[in-house]
Structure 1
Amino acid sequence: MPLQNDMKIISTDDHVVEHPNVWLDRLPAALKERGPQIIEDELGHHVWRYDGEIYPQIGLNAVAGKDPKEYGMEPVRYDDMIPGCYDAGERVKDMDIDGVEAALCFPSFPGFSGGVFQRAKDKDLALECVRAWNDFQVDEWCAAAPSRLIPLGLLPTWDPVACAREVERLATLGTKAISFPDGPVPLGLPSFHHPTHWEPLWDAVEAADIPLALHFGSGSFVPGFSFLDKSKPDPHAPFAVAIAVFATNSMWSTADLLLSGVLQRHPKLRFVLSEGGIGWIPYLLERIDYTWERHRWYQDIDKVARPSELFKKHFWGCFIDDFHGVDNRYQIGIENILIEVDYPHSDSNWPNSRKRIAENLVNVPDDEARMIVETNARALFKFPA
């Protein structure tokens, strides 16, 4: 049926391009010079300088309002972007144009789960930068429109005890979700299978009752994008390859966690598979149950639920445009599906997101469509109308 006018779309994956003063306004005076700040390079691009290193603003991360023929990976200036990329007031206006009620916004400069700070040499400075970004999300970005923008937090991923402390602080700030690497191993961190390393974090997240969002690429691994070595991507491989198969990251994360034992030890954990699509979920659940039936010799069979059962309790899939996933929604679980817009990235349909979402859901009953676009997200993030 047509998407009803009273169904308020909540995007569970948008992005904010940090304005130049996010860290200059919040870091201690002694750290401001080494903290993130915008400079102009010799080519006239706006780039971030952080502790002596230069980080370009990737063009694909801020293309809302542009013709796809103008997309590219080259760095961009703020005056090349529409203001909604970095200004909360303008963002809400763009959401109004797009027919979107509320949005959860991931970082840009730090990486989707703070990978820039994970790789930084000075971890004391990095911790202050993480905390400053979290404060910016709550006291500036979301404070500009509390009923429209949903607070998201980052963690000092290099230290699970510090992660736990920051989770506790985020809970007091009213943060509704926390971004975490979709695969810790490429960042040089222990895997989800490690029996003890992440336990302080899992305990803290359960106590705070805040879901963890695993955004595609947040663990620094990019599927299908050939690498000559760890630092130099294959110059002949278009980034379109990675975008086309982004769901493989979410498949990896989901299989890891379902077979790790983490969910048995921590039954209240919840994971959001951000920008992963949903069409692959029925296949993976079928395949992982089949695998589990034949290869669970490493687990206590009588005490372990089937992976597909664990998925329904612990995971939420998100999609931008996924007709196949919508057609197979009953194999996923209506209550486990969320919508996303991805503004201002190149996968976004802005300013026609509501129209495109309606096309995806045209054969979905009203009660199910309402859950997918709005009420599932409100319940998960504790974000009432």
Structure 2
Amino acid sequence: MPLQDHHKIVSVDDHLIEHPRVWQDRLPETFRDRGPRIVEANGNHVWNYDGTAFPTVGLNAVAGKPPEEWGMDPVRYEDMIPGCYDPSARLKDMDVDGVEAALCFPSFPGFGGGVFQRAQDKDLALLCVRAWNDFYIDEWCATDRSRFVPLSIVPTWDPQLAAAEVRRTAAMGSRTISFPDSPVPLGLPSFHNSHWDPFWHACEETGTVISLHFGSGGFVPGFSFSGTKAIAGEMALPDAPFAVAIATFSTNLMWSTIDLLFSGVLQKHPKLQFSLAEGGIGWIPYILERTDFVWERHRHYQEIDFDTRPSDLFREHFWGCFIDDDFGVENRHKVGIDRIMLEIDYPHSDSNWPNSRKRAAEVLVHVPDDECEKICETNARTMLNFPAPV
């Protein structure tokens, strides 16, 4: 049965482009000159943060443009459609697309706040993290709290500060934290390290889901600097075209999932929930088969859980997300029908906007009505504790 009119779509992965005043309106006056602000550079709009320029990459905001006009070049705000940076306009674009509600990830800070993790002045960075959270929850989501799902980022350089921000933003209504898909590329301890225990505890205590978005740890497969120049510490252009990175997005989350399944974190923190944003789902059945195979053969001599199969841990702690994944939908029962959600990815290049609902209907054409409802809406509402308005 195809997607019906009564099926509502809750997207667990969309994006916003911060408007130029986000930090200037919220930072203390003494920090504003060094805080994120938009400047003109060579005819483009560029973020300047503490003396460093950060161009707004064109592929971040291609909604409404034909593929022939896409590119990596910086853009101006007037080159984007208003729904990229204006929440009222975004609601109209969601209506056009047939989307009921959306969870929006940051752009300038990086999906998991990596820009602030790499900043030298951590006092300023902490203020910037808090300012983004205040902006998203109290300005963007306040436009319509039934349609925008509150999300936060945390100061990843300090687990105690991160835990405090989890609790602060949870009290404001935040449902999920966007966290690095791997902390290691950011120079942080791995998921296997007890360093993160205060953060895990705070997420469990508040019922906050951890969203692991592809690339939020700063590593982009096929596109990160590589080769002899990089080894020597020199800046080197990537050998591969960006198409390699786009095609291998999900490999980041394969690694993250396997890492967490064997980390012991899930046993120590049984209430943790992880959303695999922009990862697709077609790879999940194989990874579950492979991790179970490895567990069966190697659990006797390694420091891994002797009693719990990785596939069982996955179905207790992880949620898969897809934009356009025929193979994954065909194999949905091997993933777990209660653990699959839909994502729209507006305004990025993987999005099908303004035809997301039409494409979802094509992908779900052979899926029973009750399963369509779970994939499109109710699984996301369950994971995020974001009930439909009465």
TM-score bracket for this pair, using the shorter chain length: over 0.9
User: Are 2:311 and 1:308 aligned?
Assistant: yes
Question: How many correspondences in the alignment?
Answer: 382
Alpha-carbon contact 1:225-1:233 (below 8 Å) kept = no
Alpha-carbon contact 1:226-1:233 (below 8 Å) kept = no
User: What is the alpha-carbon distance in structure 1 between the residues aligned to residue 235 and residue 77 of structure 2?
Assistant: 27
Q: 1:326 to 1:92 in 2, by over 3 A?
A: same
- 1:234: how far off? 3.1
Percent of aligned pairs with the same amino acid: 66
Which amino acid in 2 is paired with 1:103? Answer: A
Alpha-carbon contact 1:292-1:306 (below 8 Å) kept = yes
User: Are 2:26 and 1:23 aligned?
Assistant: no
Which amino acid in 2 is paired with 1:33? Answer: D
- 1:98: how far off? 0.4
Cα RMSD, aligned residues only: 1.1
The aligned counterpart of 2:97 is 98
User: Are 2:376 and 1:373 aligned?
Assistant: yes
Q: Which moved more, 1:129-138 or 1:237-246?
A: 237-246
User: What is the alpha-carbon distance in structure 2 between the residues aligned to residue 306 and residue 377 of structure 1?
Assistant: 25
The aligned counterpart of 2:173 is 174
Alpha-carbon contact 2:223-2:239 (below 8 Å) kept = no
User: Are 2:329 and 1:326 aligned?
Assistant: yes
- 1:226: how far off? 5.5
- The DSSP-based 3-state class of the residue aligned with 2:347 is coil
- 1:47: how far off? 0.4
Q: How does 1:152-191 map to 2 (within 5 A)?
A: 152-191=151-190
Q: How does 1:58-73 map to 2 (within 5 A)?
A: 58-73=57-72
- 1:227: how far off? 2.3
**Residues 28-86 of structure 1 deviation map (CA, whole Å, 9 limit, x = unaligned):** 11111110000001x11000000000000000000000010111111000000000000
> Which of residues 208, 216, 219 is equivalent to 2:217?
219
- The DSSP-based 3-state class of the residue aligned with 1:54 is strand
Which amino acid in 2 is paired with 1:220? Answer: G
- 1:231: how far off? 7.5
Which amino acid in 2 is paired with 1:365? Answer: P
Q: How does 1:55-204 map to 2 (within 5 A)?
A: 55-194=54-193, 196-204=194-202
Alpha-carbon contact 2:264-2:305 (below 8 Å) kept = no
User: What is the alpha-carbon distance in structure 2 between the residues aligned to residue 329 and residue 163 of structure 1?
Assistant: 35
User: What is the alpha-carbon distance in structure 2 between the residues aligned to residue 147 and residue 130 of structure 1?
Assistant: 24
Which amino acid in 2 is paired with 1:221? Answer: F
User: Are 2:303 and 1:299 aligned?
Assistant: yes
- The DSSP-based 3-state class of the residue aligned with 1:214 is strand
User: What is the alpha-carbon distance in structure 2 between the residues aligned to residue 127 and residue 234 of structure 1?
Assistant: 31
User: What is the alpha-carbon distance in structure 1 between the residues aligned to residue 195 and residue 367 of structure 2?
Assistant: 43
The aligned counterpart of 1:14 is 14
User: What is the alpha-carbon distance in structure 1 between the residues aligned to residue 149 and residue 311 of structure 2?
Assistant: 29
The aligned counterpart of 2:339 is 336
Q: 1:8 to 1:300 in 2, by over 3 A?
A: closer
**Residues 329-357 of structure 1 deviation map (CA, whole Å, 9 limit, x = unaligned):** 00000011010000000110000000001
The aligned counterpart of 1:383 is 386
**Residues 245-301 of structure 1 deviation map (CA, whole Å, 9 limit, x = unaligned):** 111001000000000000000000000000000000000000000011111222365
Q: 1:232 to 1:300 in 2, by over 3 A?
A: closer
User: What is the alpha-carbon distance in structure 2 between the residues aligned to residue 68 and residue 301 of structure 1?
Assistant: 47
User: Are 2:34 and 1:34 aligned?
Assistant: yes
User: What is the alpha-carbon distance in structure 2 between the residues aligned to residue 151 and residue 375 of structure 1?
Assistant: 17
- 1:176: how far off? 1.0
- The DSSP-based 3-state class of the residue aligned with 2:275 is strand
For structure 1, list consecutive stretches of 5 or more residues without a partner in the other structure.
Answer: none
User: What is the alpha-carbon distance in structure 2 between the residues aligned to residue 200 and residue 232 of structure 1?
Assistant: 36
User: What is the alpha-carbon distance in structure 2 between the residues aligned to residue 208 and residue 193 of structure 1?
Assistant: 22
Alpha-carbon contact 1:63-1:71 (below 8 Å) kept = yes
For structure 2, list consecutive stretches of 5 or more residues without a partner in the other structure.
Answer: none
- The DSSP-based 3-state class of the residue aligned with 2:195 is coil
**Residues 296-326 of structure 1 deviation map (CA, whole Å, 9 limit, x = unaligned):** 2223655x31000000000001000000000
User: What is the alpha-carbon distance in structure 1 between the residues aligned to residue 138 and residue 290 of structure 2?
Assistant: 44
